[in-house]
Amino acid sequence: MSGKCINRDLTGSRDKGESCESRGDTPHALRLERFLMSSVNGWLLKACITVLLLLSIESTKIQGRTEPERLNFCDVVASPATYDGKSLSVGVMVTPIFHSLSLYSPSCPSKEGFDVSTEAILPDRWVSQPNGKKLSQILKHGQAAKVQLVGVFRSAVSRRHDGQRFTFRISQIVSVAPR
Protein backbone atom coordinates (compact mmCIF):
# COMPACT_ATOMS: atom_id res chain seq x y z
CA MET A 1 0.00 0.00 0.00
CA SER A 2 1.17 3.48 -0.71
CA GLY A 3 -0.02 4.89 2.58
CA LYS A 4 -2.64 7.00 0.81
CA CYS A 5 -6.25 6.66 1.92
CA ILE A 6 -9.01 6.64 -0.60
CA ASN A 7 -11.87 8.37 1.12
CA ARG A 8 -15.25 7.87 -0.52
CA ASP A 9 -18.32 9.70 0.51
CA LEU A 10 -21.88 8.60 -0.26
CA THR A 11 -21.74 10.17 -3.72
CA GLY A 12 -18.69 8.11 -4.65
CA SER A 13 -16.32 11.07 -5.01
CA ARG A 14 -12.79 10.52 -3.82
CA ASP A 15 -10.62 12.72 -1.68
CA LYS A 16 -7.22 12.04 -3.27
CA GLY A 17 -3.97 12.80 -1.64
CA GLU A 18 -5.07 12.64 1.97
CA SER A 19 -2.71 10.38 3.84
CA CYS A 20 -3.99 7.78 6.25
CA GLU A 21 -1.86 9.25 9.00
CA SER A 22 -3.38 12.74 8.59
CA ARG A 23 -6.83 11.18 9.16
CA GLY A 24 -5.54 9.09 12.00
CA ASP A 25 -6.08 5.89 9.97
CA THR A 26 -3.59 3.20 9.10
CA PRO A 27 -3.37 1.21 5.88
CA HIS A 28 -4.84 -1.69 7.89
CA ALA A 29 -7.90 0.43 8.76
CA LEU A 30 -8.23 1.27 5.09
CA ARG A 31 -8.31 -2.44 4.16
CA LEU A 32 -10.94 -3.08 6.86
CA GLU A 33 -13.05 -0.17 5.59
CA ARG A 34 -12.86 -1.49 2.02
CA PHE A 35 -13.83 -4.98 3.20
CA LEU A 36 -16.81 -3.66 5.14
CA MET A 37 -17.95 -1.50 2.25
CA SER A 38 -17.67 -4.39 -0.20
CA SER A 39 -19.61 -6.66 2.21
CA VAL A 40 -22.38 -4.07 2.54
CA ASN A 41 -22.48 -3.54 -1.22
CA GLY A 42 -22.46 -7.30 -1.79
CA TRP A 43 -25.27 -7.82 0.70
CA LEU A 44 -27.26 -4.98 -0.83
CA LEU A 45 -26.72 -6.36 -4.31
CA LYS A 46 -27.83 -9.84 -3.19
CA ALA A 47 -30.91 -8.37 -1.49
CA CYS A 48 -31.85 -6.44 -4.64
CA ILE A 49 -31.39 -9.51 -6.83
CA THR A 50 -33.52 -11.59 -4.44
CA VAL A 51 -36.32 -9.01 -4.44
CA LEU A 52 -36.26 -8.78 -8.25
CA LEU A 53 -36.30 -12.56 -8.54
CA LEU A 54 -39.28 -12.86 -6.17
CA LEU A 55 -41.17 -10.14 -8.06
CA SER A 56 -40.44 -11.90 -11.34
CA ILE A 57 -41.71 -15.24 -9.99
CA GLU A 58 -44.89 -13.63 -8.61
CA SER A 59 -45.50 -11.81 -11.89
CA THR A 60 -45.12 -15.09 -13.78
CA LYS A 61 -47.62 -16.78 -11.44
CA ILE A 62 -50.16 -13.99 -11.96
CA GLN A 63 -49.71 -14.07 -15.73
CA GLY A 64 -49.98 -17.86 -15.70
CA ARG A 65 -53.36 -17.78 -14.02
CA THR A 66 -56.20 -17.90 -16.42
CA GLU A 67 -59.63 -16.72 -15.63
CA PRO A 68 -62.17 -19.51 -15.77
CA GLU A 69 -64.18 -19.62 -18.95
CA ARG A 70 -67.45 -17.71 -18.57
CA LEU A 71 -70.24 -19.86 -19.95
CA ASN A 72 -73.97 -20.07 -20.26
CA PHE A 73 -75.24 -22.67 -17.76
CA CYS A 74 -77.58 -24.19 -20.37
CA ASP A 75 -74.62 -24.85 -22.70
CA VAL A 76 -72.72 -26.57 -19.87
CA VAL A 77 -75.53 -28.96 -18.90
CA ALA A 78 -76.36 -29.63 -22.58
CA SER A 79 -72.76 -30.86 -23.17
CA PRO A 80 -71.62 -32.19 -19.78
CA ALA A 81 -68.75 -34.30 -21.14
CA THR A 82 -67.16 -31.19 -22.69
CA TYR A 83 -67.04 -29.33 -19.37
CA ASP A 84 -66.58 -32.20 -16.92
CA GLY A 85 -63.81 -31.36 -14.41
CA LYS A 86 -63.22 -27.86 -15.79
CA SER A 87 -63.16 -24.62 -13.85
CA LEU A 88 -66.00 -22.45 -15.10
CA SER A 89 -67.80 -19.23 -14.36
CA VAL A 90 -71.58 -19.43 -14.68
CA GLY A 91 -74.52 -17.17 -14.00
CA VAL A 92 -77.31 -19.24 -12.43
CA MET A 93 -80.08 -19.31 -9.91
CA VAL A 94 -79.34 -21.09 -6.63
CA THR A 95 -82.16 -22.35 -4.47
CA PRO A 96 -82.38 -24.49 -1.33
CA ILE A 97 -84.09 -27.85 -1.77
CA PHE A 98 -84.62 -30.71 0.70
CA HIS A 99 -81.06 -31.52 1.78
CA SER A 100 -78.90 -29.46 -0.56
CA LEU A 101 -78.67 -26.45 -2.85
CA SER A 102 -79.67 -26.66 -6.47
CA LEU A 103 -78.45 -24.64 -9.45
CA TYR A 104 -80.68 -23.95 -12.41
CA SER A 105 -81.38 -21.53 -15.20
CA PRO A 106 -84.91 -20.43 -16.14
CA SER A 107 -83.71 -20.58 -19.78
CA CYS A 108 -83.32 -24.38 -19.69
CA PRO A 109 -85.55 -26.08 -17.14
CA SER A 110 -85.33 -29.82 -16.61
CA LYS A 111 -87.80 -31.84 -18.62
CA GLU A 112 -88.19 -35.46 -19.64
CA GLY A 113 -85.08 -36.48 -21.54
CA PHE A 114 -83.19 -33.31 -20.50
CA ASP A 115 -82.20 -33.46 -16.82
CA VAL A 116 -80.16 -30.41 -15.80
CA SER A 117 -80.38 -30.89 -12.03
CA THR A 118 -77.14 -29.66 -10.47
CA GLU A 119 -76.10 -29.71 -6.82
CA ALA A 120 -74.15 -26.68 -5.58
CA ILE A 121 -71.31 -27.66 -3.24
CA LEU A 122 -70.23 -24.68 -1.17
CA PRO A 123 -66.61 -24.18 -0.11
CA ASP A 124 -65.48 -24.26 3.52
CA ARG A 125 -66.06 -20.93 5.26
CA TRP A 126 -68.18 -19.74 2.34
CA VAL A 127 -70.10 -17.35 4.60
CA SER A 128 -66.86 -15.44 5.24
CA GLN A 129 -66.37 -14.79 1.51
CA PRO A 130 -67.33 -11.27 0.41
CA ASN A 131 -70.68 -12.36 -1.08
CA GLY A 132 -71.22 -15.34 1.20
CA LYS A 133 -73.14 -13.46 3.90
CA LYS A 134 -75.46 -11.94 1.34
CA LEU A 135 -76.20 -15.37 -0.18
CA SER A 136 -76.62 -16.90 3.28
CA GLN A 137 -79.28 -14.34 4.23
CA ILE A 138 -81.27 -15.04 1.06
CA LEU A 139 -81.07 -18.82 1.44
CA LYS A 140 -82.04 -18.70 5.15
CA HIS A 141 -85.40 -17.36 4.07
CA GLY A 142 -85.88 -20.23 1.61
CA GLN A 143 -85.53 -17.87 -1.35
CA ALA A 144 -83.63 -18.33 -4.61
CA ALA A 145 -80.77 -16.01 -5.54
CA LYS A 146 -79.30 -14.98 -8.85
CA VAL A 147 -75.53 -15.59 -8.62
CA GLN A 148 -72.34 -15.54 -10.64
CA LEU A 149 -70.18 -18.46 -9.50
CA VAL A 150 -66.74 -19.84 -10.22
CA GLY A 151 -66.21 -23.52 -9.64
CA VAL A 152 -65.61 -26.98 -11.06
CA PHE A 153 -68.41 -28.71 -12.94
CA ARG A 154 -68.73 -32.50 -12.60
CA SER A 155 -70.95 -34.91 -14.41
CA ALA A 156 -71.95 -37.16 -11.49
CA VAL A 157 -71.54 -40.90 -11.91
CA SER A 158 -74.43 -41.55 -9.56
CA ARG A 159 -77.28 -39.37 -8.43
CA ARG A 160 -76.61 -37.00 -5.55
CA HIS A 161 -78.53 -36.48 -2.25
CA ASP A 162 -81.63 -35.03 -3.83
CA GLY A 163 -81.28 -36.84 -7.15
CA GLN A 164 -79.13 -34.27 -8.97
CA ARG A 165 -77.31 -35.42 -12.07
CA PHE A 166 -74.41 -32.92 -11.88
CA THR A 167 -72.34 -31.15 -9.22
CA PHE A 168 -70.77 -27.73 -9.22
CA ARG A 169 -68.07 -27.32 -6.56
CA ILE A 170 -68.02 -23.57 -5.90
CA SER A 171 -64.68 -21.86 -5.32
CA GLN A 172 -65.83 -18.24 -5.53
CA ILE A 173 -69.14 -16.41 -5.20
CA VAL A 174 -68.60 -13.50 -7.60
CA SER A 175 -71.99 -11.77 -7.25
CA VAL A 176 -75.32 -12.26 -5.52
CA ALA A 177 -78.73 -10.69 -6.07
CA PRO A 178 -82.16 -11.67 -4.79
CA ARG A 179 -84.36 -13.26 -7.41
Taking only the tens place, the pLDDT of each residue in 99-146 is: 889 899 999 888 887 888 888 999 888 988 889 999 999 999 889 999
Contact 167, 160 (CB under 8 A): yes
Query: What amino acid occupies position 43?
Result: W
- What's the pLDDT score for residue 138? 92
Q: Could you say which DSSP state residue 107 is in?
A: T
What fold does the segment set 69-178 form as a domain?
OB fold (Dihydrolipoamide Acetyltransferase, E2P) (2.40.50)
Contact 152, 86 (CB under 8 A): yes
φ, ψ dihedrals at 134, nearest 5°: -60, -45
- The pLDDT of 68-94, averaged and rounded, is 92
Q: Where are the beta strands (DSSP E) in the chain?
A: 7-8, 14-15, 69-71, 87-96, 101-104, 118-121, 145-155, 166-178
- What's the pLDDT score for residue 179? 81
Domain boundaries, the chain: 7-64, 69-178
pLDDT at 169 over 90: yes
36-39, long-range: CB within 8 Å, 24+ apart, which pairs?
37/8
Task: Characterize 88-102 residue by residue with b for buried, 16 or more Cβ atoms within 10 angstroms of its Cβ, and e for exposed.
Answer: bebebebbbeeebbb
Q: Using DSSP bridges, classify how beta strands 69-71 and 87-96 pair: parallel, antiparallel or unpaired.
A: parallel
